Amino acid sequence: MFRALQCPLEEDLSSFTRYLRSQGVVHRVTEEGNQQVVWTRDEAGAHFARECYAEGVPQTPDIRPAVRNRGPSGSAGWMQTARGIPLTLGVLLVTGVVALLTGLGSQVDGVVMFTFVPPENSEYMASQIDLGQWWRLITPIFLHFGLMHLAFNALWYWELGRRIELRSGSLWLLGLTLLFGLVSNSVQWLFSGQPFFGGLSGVLYGLLGYCWIYQLMAPNVHFALPKGVVVLMLVWLVLCLSGLVTLLGFGAIANAAHVSGLLVGCAAGLVAGGSQRFGLSR
């Protein structure tokens, strides 16, 4: 936890803490001597709390009565967090179910239910997209081939998806996920010419690009990614493009999905972040 600020013991921080919660800033308040201390989970949250306290809490409608602080509760905190990110959790749940149905890519009969094109017969896949089964344009994002593949993508969707959902809402994250999934799947199929690909990584690079460029255009506490995250993901992308990752035994990499996801994510972040910056500057 990061020590964000100290306040007099007699000061009422209820409006301040409600506003922090509404903005998705995980925090707690403790007493030390004759002072209240506000703690946040990370430095970005601490910076946001200090600025908010210095400038004054924005006037926002109180949509529910204040609840007296009864001390930390792990289960209550988790439920509060879960209510704020239903789409992130829903995508992870569907991904987990598909992993079970397909045996993490080992059960072909299960895998072909989610491939970009449907099976033509018992031995071959169709050579063209079947728009009558339009959901296949998206479903490859739920396919994962191995436990490491699943764990890596799930952790990054949790990290990036919840940031966007807390900042912009569930419908916005849904729209971005569908957009990045559609683009990355389509480009991967066009470039590879084979239907057996999958994973959330194209979407993840889209979400990364979105947060990265949005933060450059209109900084906010939610998209302040930990130092080195963008560099790490870009280095991994370059290693995948070089073929080194495949040579090391990590399997075939959907490079076209990664690159196209990143590019469309950066474009979306530029538009959304630019719009936010223009709106704030007026």
Looking at residue 249, what DSSP letter applies?
A: I
What interhelical angle do 201-217 and 147-168 show, nearest 10?
30
Report d(CA 250, CA 2) in Å as an integer.
38
- Choose the catalytic residue: 258, 260, 275, 281: 258
The yes-or-no answer on residue 201 being catalytic is yes
- Choose the catalytic residue: 201, 222, 242, 260: 201
The yes-or-no answer on residue 127 being catalytic is no
Contacts 24+ apart (CB under 8 A), 7-10: 7/35, 7/36, 7/37, 7/38, 7/53, 8/34, 8/35, 8/36, 9/34, 9/35, 9/36
CA angle 175, 119, 146 (to 5 degrees): 65
Cβ(189)–Cβ(115) under 8 Å? no
As annotated, the active-site residues are 201, 258
